[in-house]
Amino acid sequence: MYEKELFSAELQKEIKDRFYYVDCDPHIGAKRLFFENAGGSYRLKAAVEAGSDKDAYPDCPDRDHHSARWLNDILNRGMEDIRVIFNAKSGVIATDLTATQVMFNMVRTIVQNVEGTNMVTTALEHPSAFDAVNYYADKYGKELRVADTSNETGGVEAEDIVKLIDRDTVLLSVMHASNFSGAAMNIEKIVRMAREIKPELYIVVDGVQHAAHGIFDVEKAPVDGMNFGPYKFFGCRGIGVGYLSDRLANLPHHKVIRKPQNEWRLGSPVPMQMASISAVVDYVCWLGGQFAGADCNGSDCEAAAASRCGKSVDVGRRQLFVEGMKRISLHEKALLERMLDGTESVPGLRHISGVKVCPDCRDLTNRDLIVPVVFEGADHGEIVKEYERRGVILRETPMSSMFFDRILGSFGMDGALRVSPLHCHGAEDIDEYLKITKKIAESLR
């Protein structure tokens, strides 16, 4: 169904060339398949290089001289490009050291200022979001209501979330896509249904896992808060990013007293980090331009962005960005389909004896390229080591992990392997992984 959406061989090669270490281990130089992008992520060369010289400048971006204005332009461009990512035509952009800190700050501010008796989230959430809701529910004496997962979809059904909401609900926190099952939530539907029950309900979304795979749109799904971590979106570590609606941004919160009421930045973002984010948006726009017929390479995108003020969404840039993310999503669905079903010459995960995809949803419409795999009767820690010996990097998700115990329990599982390629990979990479998987499975019989 999705095979025709694979990138051409020529484009695939150019995409790989734009990232560091796609086909080799940077430490020892050996060939490998890095299928652990849900934990880390390939780094875009332009994103690393964009920030390499900015941090050397002694200048403060808030001053009025040449170098300071140049750095301030970089900051503004980065803030606007964050708006492009979210499609945030209003509201406020907040930054912190991590996406987890952004989430905790948003949840705390809502709970401290909004009346109600309960808070709603799901069993699928990453601890960075679930624990924020759990902590503040306990601290302020709110009932914590948790929607269960679906073994059929690997996600959480909108109806199961909404049935927990009432007029006394303070907050709904739901993730955009699962870092375990790859299930992507229909945020637009969830928001619409939730606000039919309580129109003024505050809703926050953990977007960290979905950022590299799909499209955010806070205009279509008017949530009050959403976050992502640039390091999982081809960019750099050391910064977390959040979108806040105007009403959330204006609630009492930690800030420098003389700053405007809706100011959430405690100190200034670092120019090199903003430059890195802009480089990622440049790249996605370049990719979108390959299909939209636009003449847009990285430098063209940067030059066009330089003249803007950082407080609006450039419509043309957003359109190219959406097209680029759409093509990433379609290519990844083709890779996911190939991984699950295989080809005439290479069996997919669904057809390898002793291997099971769990949970496994047949409809790939709302699936990101993250696959939970179970080797029946095997020690998954040992399987991970065997994969590494064969040049494949995966993540074990054991019940002993604080990141996965709640999620695994919701699916009635005690462990799995998480396989998470990226759009940088091509069909030949998936085939190589499947061949290795088949050999490992056969060795266990």
β-strand 118-122 against 143-147: which pairing, if any?
parallel
Q: Which residues, other chains included, contact 315 with Cβ-Cβ below 8 Å and sequence gap of 6+?
A: none
Q: What is the pLDDT of residue 296?
A: 60
Query: In terms of pTM, does the model score above 0.85?
Result: yes
Q: Delineate the domains of the chain, giving CATH numbers in brackets.
A: 3-43+331-443 (3.90.1150.10), 66-276 (3.40.640.10)
Q: What is the pLDDT of residue 311?
A: 54
Q: What is the pLDDT of residue 445?
A: 80
What pLDDT tens digit does each residue of the chain (445 aa) get? 899 999 999 999 999 999 999 999 999 989 999 999 999 899 999 999 997 788 888 998 989 999 999 999 999 999 999 999 999 999 999 999 999 999 999 999 999 999 999 999 999 999 999 999 999 999 999 999 999 999 999 999 999 999 999 999 999 999 999 999 999 999 999 999 999 999 999 999 999 999 999 999 999 999 999 999 999 999 999 999 999 999 999 999 999 999 999 999 888 778 999 999 999 999 999 999 999 876 665 445 544 444 444 456 788 999 999 999 999 999 999 999 999 999 999 999 999 999 999 999 999 999 999 999 999 999 999 999 999 999 999 999 999 999 999 999 999 999 999 999 999 999 999 999 999 999 999 999 8
Q: Three-class SS string for the chain?
A: CCHHHCCCHHHHHHHHHCECCCCECCCCCCECEECECCCCCCCEHHHHHHCCCHHHCCCCCCCCCHHHHHHHHHHHHHHHHHHHHHCCCCCEEEEECCHHHHHHHHHHHHHHHCCCCEEEEECCCCHHHHHHHHHHHHHCCCEEEEECCCCCCCCCCHHHHHCCCCCCEEEEEEECECCCCCEECCHHHHHHHHHHHCCCCEEEEECCCCCCCCCCCCCCCCCCEEEECHHHCCCCCCCEEEEECHHHHCCCCCCCCCCCCCCCCCCCCCHHHHHHHHHHHHHHHHHHHHHHCCCCCHHHHHHHHHCCCCCCCCHHHHHHHHHHHHHHHHHHHHHHHHHHHECCCCECHHHCCCEEECCCCCCCCCECCCEEEEECCCCHHHHHHHHHHCCEECEEEECCCCCCHHHHHHCCCCEEEEEECCCCCCHHHHHHHHHHHHHHHHHCC
Tell me the β-bridge partners of 146.
121
Q: What is the pLDDT of residue 102?
A: 98
Q: What is the pLDDT of residue 3?
A: 94
Q: Which residues, other chains included, contact 330 with Cβ-Cβ below 8 Å and sequence gap of 6+?
A: 2, 5
